[in-house]
Amino acid sequence: MSKMIWLGVPQVKGRIELRKPKAQYFGSVRFFKHLIISVMILMMTAPWVVVAQMAANREASRGGAEANDVGMAKANSDLAEMRDRYDEAVERADKADQEIIEMLVLMEQMEASLEKAYGLFDFESAYGYLHPQLRVDGPAEYIDSNGTVYLTFDDGPGPSTRAVLDILKRYDVKATFFVVGYTIPGREETLRRIVEEGHTIGIHTYSHVYREIYTSLEAYLDDFARASAIIEEVAGIKPNIFRFPGGSVNSYNERWGNAVISEMLGRGYRYYDWNVGSGDAATDTSTNEIFEAVIRQVHSNEYSVVLMHDGGGGRGQTVEALPMILDRLSGEGYRFDKLTNQVLPTVFAPTTYSRG
């Protein structure tokens, strides 16, 4: 078995941000529209000023009636001309409004095209045609997890899952369940209960058969898609995190491990190994051994992702050790939470060989 160490890898992909240039006011459509409106206001008020002035002149000198009549005729003529100009201005303004509307529509279309381009940038793979529904939104950022213990349970739902859920409910603690698809039929209510009680579900493949799922990238995607589909059908959620059977580094995935990781990250998924092993995978591990292993390793980490099991065999010792772990660590000031894709992933790194 390969020796492994733990490294924190952010798993964040780059993104190009396109910014719209700041619009210039002078010479823009908005500038000319404001200019047109100002002229229109001037044309509407000017005739009344002229009329008022002429009326004042007429009152001051009644003897110039004939001259005033000529002036009034001239004013009426000017007023008619101004009205014509006003109508033309309104027509031009309406046309400008229509042009602005068309420009806004064009901008919306351009933004939609940019969003599509972003999608192509974020995910470009020769295997993209395989199970295209396997895409999720990646995390925008990672949260501060210092002092947090993330309890995770693999291989369920199983015979011990309900007991684990009862304990977590009693302690008001949220956890994460990496479920195996083939165990769900017959335990649909248990899967739904995990979701209803606020825990996280992650994918742990459908078959959990190493020699099959790690034979190629296509084989892994086929199995993963099957697991995702049954979880979504039964529980009504689409998980966005997962865990490799055996961890991300194991003797079965030396050839295809890197390819699977790259593909799944490109589709938005995040995977989680662990930095605390409870040892409960071996059914002969005692309750005290599980308890001591977890406590010892948690004390060595800034934050901990604890591997435990609720399926894959009898897990009586795990159920017995769980309250002991919760009492001890909560008494020491640790807090418990469930994994989301905003938690910085814990991942393995090979020390003795390189995956191809």
Annotated catalytic residues are 154, 309
Print burial letters for 152-190: b (CB count within 10 Å at least 16), e (below 16): bbbbbbbbbbbbbbebbeeeebbbbbbbbbebbeebeeb
**Angle at alpha carbon of residue 230, lines to 206 and 173, rounded to 5°:** 85
What is the distance between the alpha carbons of residues 190 and 159, in angstroms, rounded to a whole number? 10
What is the distance between the alpha carbons of residues 277 and 298, in angstroms, rounded to a whole number? 10
The helices-and-strands tally (H runs, E runs) of the chain is 9, 10
What is the distance between the alpha carbons of residues 50 and 52, in angstroms, rounded to a whole number? 5
Write the burial class of residue 336 (CB in 10 Å: 0-12 exposed, 13-18 middle, 19+ buried). buried
For 269, other C-beta atoms within 10 Å of its C-beta total 23
Two structure tokens written together for 78: 């000017």
Instruction: Classify strands 4-8 and 346-350 as parallel, antiparallel or unpaired.
Output: antiparallel
> Which amino acid is it at 212?
E
What is the distance between the alpha carbons of residues 51 and 68, in angstroms, rounded to a whole number? 10
Query: Residue 326 in contact with residue 173, Cβ under 8 Å?
Result: yes
Strand pairing partners for 172? none
Strand pairing partners for 271? 242
Indicate the length of the chain as a whole number: 356
